Chains A and B, each alone.
Chain A
Amino acid sequence: MTLLTRGEREDFDQSSLMKPGGKQMSRLNALLVFCLVILSGMATAAKADPIKCGLSNGKDATGEPINIGSIVSKTGPDDFSASASAAQAYFQCVNHNGGIGGRPINYIVGDDQWNPEVATQLRAKMVDDQKVVAMVGSSSFVECAANAKSYEASGIIVVAGVGVPRECFTSKNYAPLNAGPRLSTIAAAQYLNEKNGAKSFVCISLNIPNFGTWVCDGINVWAKANGLKSDTILIDPGSADATSTILQAAALKPDAIVFCLSKNTILSLLSAADQQGLSDKIKFGSGAAAYSRELPGVIGPSWNGKFVTNMEFQAIDSTDADNQNWIAIMDKYAAPNVSRDTFSQGGYLAARLVTETLLKLDPAKISREAVATALRGVDNFQSDILCSAWYYGAEAARHNADNTLRNAIVDGKSWKVVSPCTKVVDPELADIREYEQKMRR
């Protein structure tokens, strides 16, 4: 038996003597509190899970799994797995919310280790052995060149979260959600020219076939068409000496330096430029790889209001509905150390698009052919993360639907959007723009 202390006894006495009929009042108060708790609980339950994915019915999918594959470049010079991580988070959410008519998605992610041979082996395993119905959320430096033709031959459609080298944007069955590094880097250069008056550029990219030269050629073509000057520096992905690269670029005396590199390489180059005191002398910009939530917080105060990046998608902290849904899904289904960046948005969009397409099919008749036909028919996929509706383009020889982009600038420890959705000026887009005009008619 526990005895009350003197203070507790006094508190008890005072509460029961506060008003006439103290005990009855206490019961009434208790009842009121109970009702309030129930009501607030109901209110919380009503908005308990604002996440939207698949059927959103809160039931676990238990039927026969549907195999979907993805190939990413994870281990190697840099980690490009954020796209597949986001797609995985979305598919987990779908599986906890009814799946595809009760069938869960078995999402198989392979790491090509930046090695085309490994990418080919992974494709063969997923397509031939595991019988995937589509590839979704892929993001690789090497797999487009290695696998694009095989995907076409196997009738597999790839809805990539992030297309990286040229082949990802020039293949018949490969349709990335993002704009790609070439358009993204041109968009950053366009901004630096229009807003900062930059007239000479150095484009720094990776010495990877069909990547670095393709991207920087985009800057060169755009610069030439506009009477501007542009030089190219290609570096090895494993390069350790960032200072020499920055000194090499600065020696060309450009008004602006634009990067098309991975975010960690960009960070090392910005650190080197900072140490050399170049942040005040030269304008710096980048393709969308730099657009990660963490970067402004780590590059240091010297870059505040100076470093511009293209975004490819919506601002990562946008309060628009679909962007908030992406954040909520990542918070619930992905580990905290998984990047919440542009690539993650791409993976989320790819997974959402494919899920919504699959939900329109008869769950019992989901086959590779049925999925390919359905995906080819996507012509108006809407999301506030995109500048305009995404389409597959069934009759097009290649796919690059995301070609209207925004830019952001470092603002303290975050990004500030500085330009609205703007059409990227790249002569290579002529066929895409023509196709879009035909579609509108």
Chain B
Amino acid sequence: MLLSFVISGLGVGAVYALSGVGLVILYRTTGVLNFAFGAIGALGAFFANEVLNAGYPAVLGWLCSIGAGAAVSCLYGRLVAPLLAPRDPVVRAVGTLGFALILLGTMGWYWGDVPRRLALPSDAIFFEISGTRLTLTRIVALGFLLSVIASVTLTLMYTRLGLAMRALADDRRLSSILGVRVISVELTGWLISGVSAGICGVLLANLVRLQALHLTFLVIPAIAAAIMADLSSLAITAVAGIAIGVIEACLTLWPLLAPYRTAAPFFVSLLSVFFLAFRAHQSGRPR
């Protein structure tokens, strides 16, 4: 029985993880905690749904979502983010929250609240484990997660762009003095984040539901995963995201806790904040 819920939680957990990774990459590059990640993904998913409803192949839907996510993310990253760059991290984060609300309002105005379902051909392909179907879409979600982590890690470790991104993460001002093209590198961060949002948008619209408001606020578990990794490690973010998804699913087994299982991300992130604070206290580092 437990295995069924682990399988169920794996898919959503993988998307939480992928969203968290997208957040961490952007945070490490630009210092911006992107609250608009979910809304950008939702926008991509709506575009993908339009393409799929018009009868085009699923690949085109994916590309459309990724393209829309990347375009919107880069637009904010190029036009608004540089203006807020000298401000506090809180102001930069609130800027993205404002952007999320603009996107949310636009989606509500254009697409309304009519029920929509984003079905993918991969939903029909599945493996049965312990009486539960593990659909190809869930496997694709895990595959995307691993490939994004691998490609971003390799980029950060072995390319000049990665070096510039790491330099920016350490000290924006110093990197600029040393000749790092700050705007261009930051824009790459926004691009990677937008691509991740586009992928997550389609997956969440399929695994959860295609509804602007719901998808916009699914950024919360992703933030929880990123916080658990102290907004630094991609691998820990990935593990944390999957853990949140699986814990949320497995809580279904306990009738007393089941109605409150959506609180799992908050609870888990709260525990991790205490743990990180305790560890910092032990090592004498200020937090």
Q: CB-nearest residue of chain A relative to B208?
A: A240
**With A298-B117, A337-B111 as contacts: A240 and B262 at CB distance below 8 Å:** yes
Is B166 interfacial (CB-CB < 8 Å)?
no
Is A139 interfacial (CB-CB < 8 Å)?
no
Name the interface size band of chain A.
35 or more
List A236-254 residues whose CB lies under 8 Å from chain B: 236, 238-245, 247-248, 251
Contact assessment for B208 and A247 in the assembled complex, using a CB-CB cutoff below 8 Å: no
When distances are taken between beta carbons in the complex, the residues of chain B under 8 Å from A265 are 209
Task: Tell me which of B188-196, B252-260, B275-283 binds A.
Answer: B252-260
When distances are taken between beta carbons in the complex, the residues of chain B under 8 Å from A57 are none
Is A276 interfacial (CB-CB < 8 Å)?
yes
When distances are taken between beta carbons in the complex, the residues of chain A under 8 Å from B217 are 238
Q: How far is the CA of A207 from the CA of B260 in the complex (A)?
A: 8
Q: How far is the CA of A339 from the CA of B262 in the complex (A)?
A: 28
Is A366 interfacial (CB-CB < 8 Å)?
no
Contact assessment for B248 and A207 in the assembled complex, using a CB-CB cutoff below 8 Å: no
Q: CB-nearest residue of chain A relative to B114?
A: A294
Q: How far is the CA of A141 from the CA of B33 in the complex (A)?
A: 33
When distances are taken between beta carbons in the complex, the residues of chain B under 8 Å from A60 are none
Q: How far is the CA of A267 from the CA of B135 in the complex (A)?
A: 18
Contact assessment for A295 and B115 in the assembled complex, using a CB-CB cutoff below 8 Å: yes
Is B261 interfacial (CB-CB < 8 Å)?
yes
Q: CB-nearest residue of chain B relative to A232?
A: B255
List B28-72 residues whose CB lies under 8 Å from chain A: none
Interface code B99-111, partner A: CB below 8 Å = 1, 0 otherwise?
Answer: 0000000000011
Is A328 interfacial (CB-CB < 8 Å)?
no
Contact assessment for A241 and B214 in the assembled complex, using a CB-CB cutoff below 8 Å: no
Q: CB-nearest residue of chain A relative to B204?
A: A240
Task: Tell me which of B8-16, B154-162, B177-185, B233-241 binds A.
Answer: B8-16
Q: How far is the CB of B248 from chain A (nearest CB, A)?
A: 6
- CB < 8 Å neighbour of A242 from B116, B133, B208, B260: B208
When distances are taken between beta carbons in the complex, the residues of chain A under 8 Å from B115 are 263-264, 267, 292, 294-295, 298
Contact assessment for B261 and A264 in the assembled complex, using a CB-CB cutoff below 8 Å: no
Is A377 interfacial (CB-CB < 8 Å)?
no
Q: How far is the CB of A220 from chain B (nearest CB, A)?
A: 15
Is B5 interfacial (CB-CB < 8 Å)?
yes
Contact assessment for A264 and B214 in the assembled complex, using a CB-CB cutoff below 8 Å: yes
Contact assessment for B209 and A264 in the assembled complex, using a CB-CB cutoff below 8 Å: yes
**With A275-B126, A292-B115 as contacts: A244 and B213 at CB distance below 8 Å:** no
- CB < 8 Å neighbour of A243 from B11, B111, B253: B11
Is B4 interfacial (CB-CB < 8 Å)?
yes
Is B176 interfacial (CB-CB < 8 Å)?
no
The interface of chain B, by Cβ under 8 A from chain A, is 1, 4-5, 8-9, 11-12, 110-117, 119, 123, 126, 132-133, 135, 204, 206-209, 211, 213-214, 217-218, 221, 245, 248-249, 252-253, 258-263
Closest 10 A/B residue pairs (Cβ): A337-B112, A79-B113, A268-B209, A207-B259, A236-B262, A243-B8, A244-B249, A298-B117, A244-B252, A234-B259
